Chain A
Amino acid sequence: MKMTKLAVAFTATMLAAGPTLAETLHFPSLSYRTGPFAAGGIPFADGYSDYLTLINERDGGIGGVPIRQTECETAYNTERGVECYQSIRGDNPLVIQPLSTGITYQLIPRTMEDGIPMHTMGYGRTSAVNGEVFNWTFNYPGTYWDGASVIINYLLGENDGSLEGKKIALLYHNSAYGREPIPTLERLAERHGYQFLSIGVDSPGQEQGSQWLQIRRERPDYVLMWGWGVMNPTAIQEAANIRFPMENFIGVWWSGSQQDVRPVGQGAHGYKALAMHGTGTNYPIYEDMQRYVIEPGKYAGTGEEVGTVLYSRGMYAAMLAVEAAKKAQEIHGVAAITPAMMRDGMANLEITEELMAELGLPNFGPAFSVSCQNHGGSGAAMIQQWDANAGEWNLITDWIESDRDMIMEMVMEDSAAFAAENNIEPSCLN
């Protein structure tokens, strides 16, 4: 008799819980809080989670439907990332953010097949900009090719519009990620007449003696860096050691966080990096973040990373995901959206300066709109510089545009090759 009562109670609970679980918006996070790259993965995951918590606590979710967060540890390992994807693909994930170029490459065909949208913000396969081939992959607001082009445009501005005769070296992480900007920089070298030199560093990048001896011998005018993890502080330390002028050393946005410069101390003063978004807590949104997330102790992690570069990036990724979900709800007229509906929201996303201000993040990210022909946003970025005395990154430029015409040519070539390899007939889904 007791067993029957228990069974009835259990069934009633499940029936009551069933619809509740279904009526949540599932935002999974493929994070890495362990492994060699944990120092960068933790603040991103915290920022991503805190923003979604804020939306739940302050707004009661999106369109009245609460957000359900799940986290799967990848340790920045491609195989584990794929396993994570396999474990969540049946759980209605609205958007996959793999946070690794290696995992992205593996998931592109799988997400296409499963009909689950993927957002690779500032990483991944650049040619996914072409939404006619990569229907389910988005890489707004900018790509590595944009990043490389923005740096060259910045250097053109610093050199009265000419890089003729200059020597530019790229120090890159010897991986799919690190090699991404090479074709762009080679093509831009032909256009602007600078000499290009690429120097690889094997992962994780703790030993860079040979590379910096080569830089010392070659005497480049500028060194660009596509690094991640321990490679970044090691490179900045080595640059300081050989007395390379730090203002001529510029990293991509994954080489420009507090984790990269703090270990070097005063030696990192003046180092520059790309910024795809603002940083620091000097934005109105942090009043709400403080009130609804930090003070009640609902933050992820230790709460110490709030406002840092990578925390801001995680928050920005979550913000873009939430805005895409709102767009999807608006397009389809339903609150409990599916991954396919989310894709439509992402494909029609429009971020304006007014919207950013309304969200409490004025001028935090660039204004852009997504279309089938352009999944890559505006491609604009700013340059930030590290002030070791104040211990902060300062934005030293406004948004700098990339050479989108040239990049789109390259995108079309690369995406056409991918389409041919995979028998994809390019077309828009909507």
Chain B
Amino acid sequence: MPDNLLFAMEATLNGLTAGVMYALVALGFVLIFKASGIFNFAQGVMALFAALTLVGLQSGQVPFAHLINAIFGTRIHHFGWNMPTLLAIPATVLVMIGLAILVERFILKHLVNQEPIILFMATIGLAYLLEGVGDIMWGAEVKALDVGLPKGMSGAVDDLTFGWFGYGFYIDRLELWAAGIAAILVASLTIFSQYTKQGRALRAVADDHQAALSVGISLRFIWVLTWSIAGIVALVAGIMWGSKSGVQFSLSLIALKALPVLILGGFTSIPGAIVGGLIIGVGEKLFDFYMQPIIGGATENWFAYMLALVFLLFRPQGLFGERIIERV
């Protein structure tokens, strides 16, 4: 088999796993948009905040230590114990649920019936607030995140492909795990929304707010539920991206990777987020592979948006988005 074809196959495989990582971030956006029509600008920052909280709890860091020290002249930083990962993850989930309750109580409750752009602006404010709170609470230094997920080249894939083609493909084990976790996440979300009372209520709100309210579904509860689920999805994305490159402010910028995925897959479709992620992942890897010798590298940032724009021209609602019907 020609070398170039093998390399292209390897790039495709890596694109698929990278796409899953993008999809993990996009899922959080879809959940909130589907349930409340809000484009949550703070989703990336939520992933950062969740990852910061997880590392802080794992390492026994005292929250707001810098602030406490500055006010009281103390020098506390750590409690002196480490929390096992299996405890730290549920504790972080509780923090994210707490955050969802605060968001509903202090932001969403006051903006009922406002225009989508107002709600969008509110989430921009939330993003900046959460960024600052995260910094003050846990510090801005780079933190290593280790929840026991394997990293590095997958020997099994390397051996298998070497046996087939005489060239071992590279796949990061962390990204293979991410694919598995994303599959479990999507299956769980589907089961939740199809077979539980709360899930059905969530779908009812997503379909028609007024109708859902008229049958006694509490909009406030559904918002807390949605933002809690989005917080849990943000935690999963934060764990996967944080394990890859450490937990630091840049983690919040992964949201930028989710935007083209959403444009492609549609803002209201969970399968769309996954398929959109895969298309973007494979597209950018193959484009870089073939175009790098001609135009140089560093194409990943803009190529995804260009691809999304092309899709937008032909299918504005995205691949799986709800069809836009305008009645005159």
B297–A36 CB distance below 8 A: no
A259–B241 Cα gap in the complex (Å)?
A: 17
| Chain A residues within an 8 Å CB radius of B249 | 34-39
Question: In the assembled complex, which residues on chain A have CB atoms less than 8 Å from the CB atom of B132?
Answer: 34
Contact A201 B11 (CB under 8 A): no
- A237 adjacent to B257 (CB under 8 Å): no
- Could you say which residues of chain A place their CB within 8 Å of the CB of B143? 263
- Chain A residue contacts of B152, Cβ below 8 A: 240-241, 243, 267
Instruction: Select A242's contact among B153, B289, B302, beta carbons within 8 Å.
Output: B153
Enumerate chain A residues within 8 angstroms of B302, measured Cβ to Cβ: 202
Q: Does B285 contact A (CB under 8 A)?
A: yes
Q: How far is A262 from B146 in the complex, measured between Cα atoms in Å?
A: 12
Complex Cα–Cα for A234 and B247 (A): 11
- B253 and A36 contact, CB distance less than 8 A: yes
| B10 to A: closest C-beta gap in Å | 6
The residue among A199, A203, A263, A303 with the most chain B CB atoms within 10 A of its own CB is A263
User: In the complex, A210 Cα to B10 Cα: how many Å?
Assistant: 10
Q: When the two chains form their complex, are residues A259 and B245 in contact, meaning their CB atoms are under 8 A apart?
A: no
Q: In the complex, which residues 218-257 of chain A have their Cβ closer than 8 Å to any Cβ of chain B?
A: 229-230, 233-234, 237, 240-243
CB pair A202 B66 closer than 8 Å: no
Interface size class of B (residues with CB under 8 A): 35 or more
* B277-323 contacts to A (CB < 8 Å): 284-285, 288-289, 292, 296-302
Q: Does A115 contact B (CB under 8 A)?
A: no
Asked if B297 contacts A199 (CB within 8 A), the reply is yes
Contacts of B69 in A (CB 8 A): 302
Say whether A202 contacts B135, CB under 8 Å: no
B285 to chain A: which residues have CB within 8 Å? 209-210, 213
B250 interface hit (Cβ, 8 Å): yes
Is B298 a contact partner of A206 (Cβ separation < 8 A)?
no
Query: In the complex the two chains form, is B142's CB within 8 Å of A206's CB?
Result: no
Question: In the complex, A211→B170 CA distance in Å?
Answer: 13
**Closest chain B CB from A345 CB (angstroms):** 34
CB distance from B299 to the nearest CB of A (A): 8
Shortest CB-to-CB span from B140 to chain A, Å, is 4
Decide if B182 is an interface residue (CB 8 Å cutoff).
Answer: no
Is A33 an interface position by the 8 A CB rule? yes
A33-B140, A210-B289 known; A263 vs B245 contact (CB < 8 Å): yes
Q: Which residues of B contact A315 (CB under 8 A)?
A: none
> Known: A34-B135, A237-B151. Is A211-B297 also a contact (CB below 8 A)?
yes
- A37 — which chain B residues lie within 8 A by C-beta? 249
With contacts A34-B140, A241-B151 taken as known, whether A206 is within 8 angstroms of B245 at the C-beta atoms is yes
Q: Is A354 part of the contact surface with B, judged by Cβ < 8 Å?
A: no
- Please determine whether A214 and B297 come into contact, CB atoms closer than 8 angstroms: yes
Q: Which of chain A's residues have a CB closer than 8 A to the CB of B133?
A: none
Measured CA separation A229–B153 after assembly (Å): 24
Task: Give the complex CA separation of A302 and B136 in angstroms.
Answer: 11
Closest chain B residue, CB of each to CB of A39 = B142
* A155–B96 CA distance with the chains assembled, in angstroms: 50
Instruction: Report the Cα distance A304→B69, complex, angstroms.
Output: 13
CA distance A304 to B65 in the complex (A): 12
CB distance from A210 to the nearest CB of B (A): 4
Give bound CA distance, A209 to B297, whole Å: 12
Expressed in whole angstroms, the minimum distance between the Cβ of B63 and any Cβ of chain A is 14
List the B side residues contacting A199 at CB < 8 Å: 297
- Asked if B7 contacts A217 (CB within 8 A), the reply is yes
* Residues of B in contact with A (beta carbons under 8 Å apart): 7, 10-11, 14-15, 18, 65-66, 69, 73, 75, 77, 131-132, 135, 139-146, 151-153, 170, 172, 241, 244-251, 253-254, 257, 284-285, 288-289, 292, 296-302
**B-binding residues in A (CB < 8 A):** 33-39, 42, 174, 198-204, 206-207, 209-211, 213-214, 216-217, 229-230, 233-234, 237, 240-243, 259, 262-265, 267, 297, 301-305
7 other A-B residue contacts (CB within 8 Å) besides A237-B151, A305-B141:
A34-B131, A36-B248, A209-B285, A217-B7, A240-B152, A241-B151, A263-B145
Q: Which 7 A-B pairs have the closest CB atoms?
A: A263-B246, A200-B298, A230-B250, A202-B301, A210-B288, A234-B245, A174-B298
